[in-house]
Chain A
Amino acid sequence: MMNARENMDAVIKGGNPERFCNNYEAIQLLFDPFAMHNPRAAKGQENVVDAWGVTNSFPANVPGAFPVHTPDKIVIKDFEEWEKYLKAPSLDFTAEEWAIFKAQYDAVDRSQSYAATFVAPGLFERMHHCGGIENALMAFYECEDEVHDLIKYLTEWELKYAEGVCKNLKPDAVFHHDDWGSMKSTFMSVGMFEEFFVDAYKEIYKYYHEHGCKYVFHHSDSYGATLVPDMIEMGIDVWQGCMSSNDLPTLVKKYGDKITFMGGFDGAMVDREDATPEMIKEIVYNYLDAVGTAKGFIPCIAQGGPGSVYPQVYHWLMDAIDQYSIDKMGVKKEEITRLPLQILF
């Protein structure tokens, strides 16, 4: 039998997977020295300023940190003059700092799982974290040239970041966040997306591919069906976070040989206070029946890292997907092998 990594390879590369690849079972998400220099708001902390100057707060009663965009805290006060306000943080780290993270990468048994660099936020998210989403979205119209320059500046920073990571940590995958839409729509038109982001991401993902990363996972937990041809052009191997609103059965049929869809299980569907194992099993069985193939599809919670808001939900989802493979694909429970589960969120 294939182990989790071999099975995922078959899912992504058009082989013959023996079962459904299950959530994040074959990819470990790992950090790098930038994390040591980029303060993040922990639960209960407010107004923590990160390396880009963005203020983040994480009130105790909410599930995650958010950038604060009050007029006094917004970094890019005017996108037309972004250069006046934005200074990318240094990416020069000591050998000792790299060594701490290299040890974590080396600890991953790569015969069973990929060791993926976790990158967040992405280019668009960085723009709106720094300047507020409404101002960022209007800037695409109001100061097009300056936005092109800003995206170039952010891309160059990302390329330098990628260079350090690939040289020092040698990941074999990258897991890159950048949300491009809401549940029902993309944030912008396909034309605007193509004009501003496709070339930038092509360059970034080409770098990772050419420097040891077999797969590029891109996270956008949103609607994004209309962007799939662009995602393929960018070099994305796996779109993680694709929500059920994307009609995945159709997308997998149409594009599953070119890009793998990793998602299908939105928070609102499964990650709920009233969730039960039985409810999740029913949802999983119906969904996997509808998709009808383990090729080009990785059933996964939509959120951008292993785990769930209600902790037991991720385990129930994993169990239900395994059980489906056992019931419908003739796999034996003891044949399903994977590294211990990573829970990130």
Chain B
Amino acid sequence: MAIADVYKLVEKGKSKLIAEAVEEALEDGDSAVDILNDGMIKAMDKVGEKFKNGEIFVPEMLIAAKTMKKGVEVLKPHLATGAAGALGKVIIGTVAGDLHDIGKNLVIMMLESAGFEVIDLGVDVSKEKFVETYEANPDTKIICCSALLTTTMPALKDTVALINAQPFRGSVKVMVGGAPISQAFADEIGADAYTEDAASCAKKAKELAA
């Protein structure tokens, strides 16, 4: 029952109530991993699905993600190190010449909620920075690159080309996204995957990281 409460609170984005519910679940004897997986991550999966289907919008997704984050803070001392990012590392950034970050930030929330550890490089990220960050974090599973403008599609292409030319390419997957991007463009530039929204990205990332 306590885990079900956590699930409901995350789904509804009740950030002020989550800490108490998580503590109650722990007191009831639920394991931290079960609370994380069955209470929070499953709730965020549902939130992502509703967002994808147009049943909820960005504010609802944001408050759900914020609620989960607050819940994870309570859980953290009870989790084995790294359990909150158990699916692995993802590097993400908006490519050079592009300052858009709303979509990227939504993707980060969904990836973190799904169980990834995300290294956010921010916006206007040079292609070299993506590569350097991977080299500093060779256990990264996925590199996500975003472009929101037709003018920065070439920068996305260049970024993916540089990643594709690296000796580590076989060990990492490359995902791309953003308003002007399509599956055809992703195929053309040699990315492993394209998804059209944050929820689909998290779902696809789980498949790729498996």
Contact = CB atoms under 8 A, between A and B. Distances in A.
Nearest to A63: B151
Contact of A186 (B57, B124, B151): B57
A268 B153 CA distance: 10
Interface string A205-245: 00000000000000000000000000000000000000000
A192 B62 CA distance: 15
Contact of A141 (B59, B99, B153, B154): B59
Interface residues of B, number: 28
A244 to B, nearest CB: 12
A142 interface: yes
A26 to B, nearest CB: 27
B98 interface: yes
B150 A273 contact: yes
B99 A62 contact: yes
B180 A267 contact: yes
A88 interface: no
A272 B157 CA distance: 14
B78 to A, nearest CB: 27
A131 to B, nearest CB: 13
B105 interface: yes
B51 to A, nearest CB: 9
B49 to A, nearest CB: 15
A324 B88 CA distance: 54
B12 to A, nearest CB: 10
A134 interface: yes
Contacts of A1: none
Contacts of A61: 96-97, 124
Nearest to A188: B57
A138 B57 contact: no
A187 interface: yes
A59 interface: yes
Given A61-B96, A185-B54, A267 B59 contact: no
B179 A268 contact: yes
B58 A137 contact: yes
B102 interface: yes
| Listed residue (A59, A61, A187, A309) with the most chain B CB atoms within 10 angstroms of its CB | A61
A189 B57 contact: yes
Contacts of B60: 141, 189
Contact of A273 (B96, B154, B179): B154
Nearest to A183: B179
Contacts of A272: 150, 153
B92 to A, nearest CB: 16
A45 interface: no
B71 interface: no
B26 to A, nearest CB: 26
Interface in A271-295: 271-273
A161 interface: no
Given A62-B97, A189-B57, A273-B154, A267 B149 contact: yes
Nearest to B182: A268
A62 B63 contact: no
| Listed residue (B58, B102, B149) with the most chain A CB atoms within 10 angstroms of its CB | B58
A339 interface: no
B197 interface: yes
A140 interface: yes
B103 interface: yes
A182 interface: yes
Given A66-B99, A141-B59, 11 more contacts: A59-B97, A133-B102, A134-B62, A142-B63, A182-B102, A182-B179, A187-B58, A188-B58, A189-B60, A273-B150, A273-B151
19 contacts: A57-B99, A59-B124, A61-B97, A61-B124, A62-B98, A134-B62, A134-B105, A137-B59, A183-B179, A185-B58, A187-B59, A188-B57, A192-B57, A268-B179, A268-B180, A271-B150, A272-B153, A273-B151, A273-B153
Interface of A: 57, 59, 61-63, 66, 133-134, 137-138, 140-142, 182-189, 192, 267-268, 271-273, 309-310
* 7 tightest Cβ-Cβ pairs between the two chains A and B: A268-B180, A137-B59, A66-B99, A61-B97, A183-B179, A272-B150, A138-B62
Interface of B: 13, 15, 54, 56-60, 62-63, 66, 96-99, 102-103, 105, 124, 149-151, 153-154, 179-180, 196-197
